[in-house]
Amino acid sequence: MPALSPTYSQTSAQTSSPTWTDERIALLRQHFEAGLSCREIAADIGVSRNAVIGKLSRLNLTRGRTVDDRKTHDRGLAPGRARRAVPRLQYEMLATIYGETDAPVVTGPIDEANRCSLLELSENRCRWPISSPGEDDFCFCGNAAPDGQSYCAGHSRLAYRPSSRIRAARG
């Protein structure tokens, strides 16, 4: 009998195409739950917007149905006011992401003794996912989460970018 079985088609052939791994999917889910747009998620992970949308669709993680979220855009332009005279590209976001290296890990050791399953989650428990869905050890953080928050203090820092977002609150 042959020593090598041809059953192996491509196991270690993935040298420069890691594509979507559990970690990326975890980031995808976390950012998705954090309320980030597909474009923001894409820029953060390092893939295109369509890639994010495609993966989300494949995971059946679409937000309800069709488009209806981005309407929050400030499209109300005054007639006497010039349009965005500043570069309105998303370079601000990219700069924020690439420049956030000044605060890598602000959170200390997050208590992982309270991790629980999905069914054990409650309103005041951190819903930060541990491992990946489908894994044998998949669970949630379970630490105490502030009122209205989805995550505990430590995981909130990871889920929501603390970087200074340029908020031009002009009225």
Partner DNA sequence: CCCTGATTCGC
Partner DNA sequence: GCGAATCAGG
* Residue ranges in contact with DNA by CB under 7 A: 19-20, 37-39, 47-51, 53-58, 62-71, 73, 75, 88-90
Shortest reach from residue 75's CB to DNA, in Å? 7
The DSSP-derived string for 74-99 is -----TTS----S--STHHHHHHHHT
Q: Are the beta carbons of 107 and 143 closer than 8 angstroms?
A: no
Nearer to DNA, 65 or 165 (CB): 65
Shortest reach from residue 64's CB to DNA, in Å? 7
Nearer to DNA, 147 or 167 (CB): 167
Identify the H or E element spanning 140: strand 139-140
3-state secondary structure of 129: strand
Query: What is the dihedral sign for C-alpha 106, 112, 117, 123?
Result: negative
Shortest reach from residue 127's CB to DNA, in Å? 21
Nearer to DNA, 2 or 18 (CB): 18
Nearer to DNA, 43 or 152 (CB): 43
